[in-house]
Amino acid sequence: MQGMGMETPTTSRWDEVGAMREGWLQGARRVVSSHCDERPAGVIPELVVVHGISLPPGEFGGPFVDRLFTGTLDPRDHPFFAQIQGLRVSAHVLIRRDGELVQYVPFHRRAWHAGVSAFQGREACNDFSIGIELEGTDEIPYEAVQYQRLAAVIRRLRERYPAIGPGRVVGHCHIAPGRKTDPGPAFDWVRLEVLLGWRPGP
């Protein structure tokens, strides 16, 4: 059973994330995306949406996620890229397989990550959510360091946006069922909740 032998909430170098200044996490590699805009007036983040991404599909590493989120992906680099040429998408943060943290959009702005979506009857989740991509696929287990890093980012976000709590960290699959499947069955939600202290460890 995935999750057995999971980390307990102890301190490691991945448990700490730099302070947030002007919507940016200190210490994250910053790759500024223009694929974003202002949130509706008076709307602040209340939800975290966890995604999974790999480019090309099933391959990890390389510059291609950065290029997708900045609109510089060259369709000549891989046959799959022709299918997504011109796609204008982004996320706030990417967590790579080795735990590297990359930020594309400041948290107070609206990243274009969720698409057509709804949470508890409220549509247009981009308006009130933060999108966090994990480098991975639906079927390949995510790395332990990615869970640790994700939990650390969520803890930092809660300091600024306290409405983000239990029940308000969801997958893309939950807000766009039938259209999206990520982060997929490979993602261990219990493991994340244990790291966040939202449920007891084994």
Structure-derived torsion over alpha carbons of residues 13, 18, 19, 21, reported in degrees to the nearest 10: -170
Residue 74 DSSP symbol: -
Residue 75 DSSP symbol: G
133 catalytically annotated: yes
- Cβ–Cβ under 8 Å, residues 106 and 91: no
Structure tokens at 23: 């919507």
- Cβ–Cβ under 8 Å, residues 150 and 95: yes
Q: Which of 133, 135, 143, 159 is catalytic?
A: 133
Count of CA atoms in the C-beta half-sphere (13 A) of 200: 1
Residues labelled as active-site residues: 133
